[in-house]
Amino acid sequence: MSDEEHQFESKADAGASKTYPQQAGTIRKNGYIVIKARPCKVVEVSTSKTGKHGHAKCHFVAIDIFTGKKLEDIVPSSHNCDVPHVNRTDYQLIDISEDGFVSLLTDSGNTKDDLRLPTDENLLSLIKDGFAEGKDLVVSVMSAMGEEQINALKDIGPK
């Protein structure tokens, strides 16, 4: 045996905790599903009848929760689909930096500085305008599959 120290730099990620399996036939409208490795919210589900030699199939139409792109998938209803763990957390907005990052206050009193401003124009202008007016703003951050994005804004009122 050798006494060398080995360093393993693995770029692979099992992603075990990011999703959980659920039978395709049990996923409903407004639920979540992973299509093409993207977390999506289901907007339409249609189920076809079983054919002469096969399974009933579920046709999912879903919208990516981060990019807003429409994705579709057809899966046999008896098969398992990946469903993302989706979390929504509210943070108080402390600061907006010039490079487009926001500084948020967590419940534990720490700051979270790794989030960018949202790409949605309406939400972006609401956040910037409200912050410029000195209002106390609370942003809602959605996270799934290792991604996070600001997706809503709540106005507490003036300081």
More confident of the two residues 29 and 1 = 29
What string of DSSP letters covers 40-58?
EEEEEEEEPPP-TTS--EE
DSSP E strands in the chain: the ranges are 19-23, 32-35, 38-47, 57-64, 70-76, 80-84, 86-96, 101-105, 111-116, 135-144, 147-158
pLDDT at residue 43 greater than cutoff 90 = yes
Q: For all residues of the chain together, what is the average pLDDT?
A: 83
More confident of the two residues 40 and 17 = 40
Residue 120 and residue 65 in contact, taking contact as beta carbons nearer than 8 Å = no
3-state secondary structure of 101: strand
The per-residue pLDDT for 158 is 57
Please report which confidence band the pLDDT of residue 61 belongs to, taking 50, 70 and 90 as the band edges: very high
The per-residue pLDDT for 33 is 93
> Taking phi first (over 0 means left), then psi (-120 to 50 degrees means alpha), and beta for anything else, what does residue 75 get?
beta
More confident of the two residues 120 and 65 = 65
pLDDT at residue 120 greater than cutoff 70 = yes
Residue 47 and residue 76 in contact, taking contact as beta carbons nearer than 8 Å = no
- pTM: predicted TM-score of the whole model, two decimal places: 0.75
What tens digit of pLDDT does each residue of 71-115 get?
999 998 888 999 999 888 888 888 888 888 888 888 888 888 888
The per-residue pLDDT for 3 is 63
